[in-house]
């Protein structure tokens, strides 16, 4: 995969993860509080903040890892491998930051961490539906 295509792939991963996180947060709030006490802007801002944090702190390591890892030829395993790599990198980097930053371990007890884990795993399968990436 060319570097420009890889960069676009990672940006699309982030966008899909942002959208999935937002949907999960909205569903959680609707289930907890109903539609009357619901704040769409708050969940949007929280999703955006988490996505931007991931862009700054996580993506340089993910970009390097993907660049060296994406040499697998088997298409069916490639998507699963990318999903597992994406998930493993996210969890490992999160654990590293939890060890280095005081109070960051609280992040793992929040529901949005689970939503981010699910979003991180699902996003490569969604991108795989785009024919341009499937051809590679």
Q: Which of 81, 32, 24, 78 shows the shortest CA–CA distance to 51?
A: 24
Phi and psi torsions of 2, nearest 5°: -65, 155
Which residues of the chain, if any, have pLDDT below 70? 1, 36-38, 70-77, 104, 132-136
Mean pLDDT computed over every residue of the chain: 80
Question: What's the pTM value of the predicted model, to 2 decimals?
Answer: 0.77
* DSSP code, position 132: H
Residue bearing tokens 């999960």:
24
Q: At what angle do helices 111-127 and 3-33 cross, to 10 degrees?
A: 140
Distance CA 46, CA 115 (A): 12
Distance CA 17, CA 126 (A): 10
């Amino acid at each position: 995969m060319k570097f420009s295509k890889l960069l676009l792939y990672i940006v699309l991963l982030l966008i899909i993860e942002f959208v999935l996180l937002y949907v999960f947060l909205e569903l959680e709030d609707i289930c907890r509080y109903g539609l009357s006490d619901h704040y769409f802007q708050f969940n949007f801002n929280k999703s955006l903040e988490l996505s931007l944090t991931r862009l700054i702190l996580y993506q340089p390591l993910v970009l390097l890892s993907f660049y060296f890892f994406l040499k697998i030829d088997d298409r069916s395993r490639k998507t699963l491998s990318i999903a597992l790599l994406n998930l493993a990198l996210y969890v490992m980097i999160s654990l590293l930051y939890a060890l280095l930053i005081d109070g960051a371990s609280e992040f793992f007890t929040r529901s949005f961490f689970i939503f981010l884990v699910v979003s991180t795993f699902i996003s490569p399968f969604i991108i795989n539906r785009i024919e341009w990436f499937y051809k590679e």
